[in-house]
Amino acid sequence: MSEQNKAPFGVMLVNLGTPENPDAASVRKYLAEFLSDPRVIRVPRLLWWLILHGIILRVRPAKVARLYQTIWTDEGSPLMHISRRQEAALQAKLREITGTDIPVELAMSYGEPSLATAGRKLANRGAQRIMVLPLYPQYSSSTTAAVFDGLARALKPCPDIPEILFIRDYWQRQDYLQALANSVQRFWDEHGKPDRLLMSFHGIPQRYEDTGDPYPGLCRQTAMGVARLLGLQDGEWSESFQSRFGREEWVKPYTDVLLEEWGKDDSINRVDVLCPAFAADCLETLEEIEEQNKVVFLEAGGKQYHYIPCLNDHPEHIQMFANLVLERAKAWP
């Protein structure tokens, strides 16, 4: 490839992944890869292999497949088609700003398109430098570090690896926090203001935080930043953690437990929920938060419950990604 056709760098957007189809076989394949990652499940490998293959992958896929069926669209998995829109929008925005074609490729930590697949596509498009942008605003060893591990595995067979710039997180960016606050304000301008705003983040086991994972603290700082921009006072908002799995203690407060408590409180009639740890709507937001937790709150006595969608491919979100990419690219001559 000639020097004239080489891209200045390429961008790899990385999200978690999704089953290819909402059926038990596809979910089993996805869960087997996801739950085999030692970054995700920190249990002695032999013991976990027996639990995973002897119990979980026999029982859980059919249940999870039914949940996926409730959110599946004509375009397929919401996470996948939203991520594809983000990929296209970011590439277009970078071209608009720079006048240069900067290739953007989507990758998933688990499933397809894999990190290796996205890396090959970027190389074929002329990128000799790759900026890796995990779509996790707050760093966690169970998500962001898993991308780093997967990238190293993907590059292991390569005799000539590209120059890599890895973005650890972006929760502290003012344009990210402002985009979140603006999304809430737009919702309130249309639907009015609730009694409480709950910012629900994906949880991790408490022992992960106890052994050094900074993620819960970053989530709390994110929530405080959004509340400050919205001008909320103590008692008008809270943060919580969702999606716990297994029997051990996870980071608290738990989203479902807190919503049940609020539902029993006569002074709290309406709750709005935002999920700032997710760059794109997915099973955990569309089914768990929008559906399951709505039932928890209303059955406990609450009157109104609203889920405020993720930033997805909203122009402010894409502009923030473009700003981030171009700022970090200044590190390259």
Query: Tens of pLDDT along 185-219?
Result: 999 999 999 999 999 999 999 999 999 999 999 99
Tell me the C-alpha distance between 321 and 87, whole Å. Answer: 10
Query: Tens of pLDDT along 11-61?
Result: 999 999 999 999 999 999 999 999 999 999 999 999 999 999 999 999 999
Tell me the C-alpha distance between 309 and 279, whole Å. Answer: 10
Residue with tokens 């249990």: 43
The pLDDT of residue 2 is: 43
The pLDDT of residue 246 is: 87
Tell me the C-alpha distance between 294 and 223, whole Å. Answer: 21
Are 88 and 42 in contact, with CB atoms under 8 Å apart? no
The CATH code belonging to domain 174-308 is 3.40.50.1400
- Among residues 22, 19, 17, the alpha carbon closest in space to that of 66 is found at 22
Given CATH 3.40.50.1400, say whether it is the number of domain 3-15+78-137+148-167+323-329.
yes
The HSE-up count of residue 149 (CA atoms within 13 Å, CB side) is 13
For residue 177, give the 3-state DSSP assignment: helix
The HSE-up count of residue 182 (CA atoms within 13 Å, CB side) is 12
Q: Which segments of the chain are extended strands (E)?
A: 10-15, 104-108, 129-134, 163-166, 196-202, 237-242, 270-274, 304-308
The pLDDT of residue 54 is: 97
Per-residue pLDDT tens digits of the chain, which is 333 residues long: 445 557 899 999 999 999 999 999 999 999 999 999 999 999 999 999 999 999 999 999 999 999 999 999 999 999 999 999 999 999 999 999 999 999 999 999 999 999 999 999 999 999 999 999 999 999 999 999 999 999 999 999 999 999 999 999 999 999 999 999 999 999 999 999 999 999 999 999 999 999 999 999 999 999 999 999 999 999 999 999 999 988 899 999 999 999 999 999 999 999 999 999 999 999 999 999 999 999 999 999 999 999 999 999 999 999 999 999 999 999 998
The pLDDT of residue 5 is: 57
* CATH 3.40.50.1400-classified regions of the chain: 3-15+78-137+148-167+323-329, 174-308
